[in-house]
Amino acid sequence: MLNLSPNNRNEFDTEKLSSLQKVYATKSRRKLIVSLYVLLAVTILFLCLPWTQNINSKGKLITLKPEQRPQTVQSIIAGRIEKWFVKDGDQVKKGDTILFISEIKDEYFDPLLAERTSNQLHIKERTVKSYGEKVSALDNRIDALIETGKLKLQQAKIKLKQVNLKLVSDSIDYNASVTNFEVAREQFQRFEKLHREGLKSQTELEMRKVSMQRAQASMISAQQKLLQSKNDIIDAKVELGSIEAKYRDEIAKAESDKLSALTSMYDSEVDVTKLQSQTVKYSIRYGMYFITAPQDGYVTKVLQSGIGETIKQGEEILTIMPKKYDLAIEMFVRPMDLPLIKKGQHVRLQFDGWPAIVFSGWPNSSHGTYGGEVFAIDNFASEDGTFRVLIAPDKNDESWPDALRVGGGAQSMILLKNVPVVYEMWRQVNGFPPEFYGSKDLPKKEKKK
C-alpha cells in the first residue's frame, strides 16, 4: 500500500544526530581527501620500487659429483648368502666385508679347483719347455747336417777332381802305349822283311815279336785303366749327387721335425695361456665370495636378507650413502626460462624444514634463505619437457646447514634483472617472460669473459 499522503512524511531533526553532523563537517571532508592523496602517493611510490625478477622452481638435494651419490652394491657372481657382517645404519670403510656368499654353480664346487688347475699349468709349462729343448736339439742337428754335408760334398768334389786327373794320366799312358805298340809293330814288320831277306835271324825276329806283343798288352792294359778312370768319374759324379740328395733329405726331415715340434710347442703355449687365465679367474672368483664396501659410507638399506637365500649375478644387495659428499640442488625450469639462465648466476634457496620469510622480489629483505650459484645446465630436455639445472653452494655467501640430507626438498629463486614493481605487475598480467640481463647488469667477471 503506497503512502501518498503528505501528512505521513517521516521527518527528523538532523541537528540532533551528532554522527551526521561530523560527516557533514568540512574538516572531515578535507581529511578524507588528504588520506586518499596520501594513499595514492604511497601506491605510486610502491609501484616505483625496484623489483628483482626471478624464476621460481621446486627442487631436491642431490650430490654434486656422481661418485658421491647413494649407490647400490651388487654381487658380481651368483651365490648363496652365508653370513652378514653389517646391518642398516652401520658405518663402513672402503674394503670392509659386507657379506659372505658360497658357490652355487657345480663347475666350481671342487675346493681344490684352483690348485688342480695350477698343477695342470705347471705340467703344460714343462711340456712347452720340453718342446723348446727339442726344437733346440733339432736346430743343432740341422746345423750339424749342414756342416757334415758341406764336408762330404767337398770330399766328393775332391775325389771327382782326383778321378779326372787320373783319367788324364791314364789317357796319356794309353796314348804312349799305343805309340809303343805302333813302333813295336813297325819294327817287327821290318825285322820280318829283313828275316825273309836273310839279314836278320829268327831269334831276333821272335824277340821283336815278343816286344810287339808286350807293347800290345801294355796298350790294352792302359786302355782298360782309361776306361776304369772314366767309370770312376761317373761313379764320383753319382756319389756327389747322392750325397747332396741324402743330406738335403735329412735336413728337410729335421726341418719338418722342428716345425712339428714348434707347432706342438705353440699349441702347448695356447693351453698354458688358457690355464693361466682359468687360474686367475678361479682365484678372483674365490675373492668374490666376500662382498666388500666400495667406499666409505653408511649402510642405508639392505635389499637382501636371510641366510641360505640365493642371489643372482649382478643383483642388488644393499645401498650405501658415501660418508663425504658435496651437496647440490637439482631443479627443473621451463624451456621459455632456459635462455635466461647462465652458469655462475646467483640463486636464493629455501630448504624444507628451515623456516624462512621470503620476499621473492626483494631477496635482500628475505630471512632464512641461503645463497647458491648455477653450476651446470643440461643440454637436453627431460621426459616432461623441462630442463635440469644444478645449483651449487655460493662460496661467498652463508654456508648451507650441516644437517641437510640428500633427497630433501628446496625452493629455488634464480635472480634476474631489477625492474619497477609496476612493470613486473604489467608483465605478469600479460604473461611475458622475464627480462634478459643486459650488458650493464652483468657482473664484472662476466664482462671479462
Neighbours of 261 (CB within 10 A): 19
% pLDDT > 70, the chain: 82
**Helix, strand or coil for residue 151?**
helix
What are the extents of the domains in the chain?
A: 51-66+325-448, 71-103+293-322, 113-287
Higher pLDDT, 165 or 50: 165
Higher pLDDT, 414 or 404: 404
Q: Does domain 51-66+325-448 have CATH number 2.40.30.170?
A: yes
When pLDDT is cut at 50, 70 and 90, the band that residue 51 belongs to is: low
Residue 4 confidence (pLDDT): 52
Q: Looking at the predicted structure, is the pLDDT value of residue 446 above 80?
A: no
**185-240 confidence digits (pLDDT tens):** 888 888 888 878 877 777 877 888 888 888 888 888 888 888 888 888 888 888 88
Angle, vertex CA 104, rays to CA 103 and CA 106, nearest 5: 100
**257-288 confidence digits (pLDDT tens):** 989 989 999 998 999 999 888 888 888 888 88
Average pLDDT score over residue span 7-24: 57
Question: What pTM did the predictor assign?
Answer: 0.54
Assigned fold of 71-103+293-322: OB fold (Dihydrolipoamide Acetyltransferase, E2P) (2.40.50)
Residue 100 confidence (pLDDT): 92
DSSP 371-437: EEEEEEE-SS--TTS-EEEEEEE-TTSPPPPTT--TT-EEEEEEEEEEEEHHHHHHHHHHTPPPPPP
Side-chain-facing half-sphere of 381: CA atoms under 13 Å: 10
Cβ burial, residue 42 (10 Å; 0-12/13-18/19+): exposed
Average pLDDT score over residue span 155-166: 87
For domain 113-287, the CATH class is mainly alpha
In whole angstroms, give the CA distance from residue 305 to residue 86.
11
Q: Looking at the predicted structure, is the pLDDT value of residue 416 above 60?
A: yes
Quickly list H helices, 288-372: none
Average pLDDT score over residue span 315-331: 88
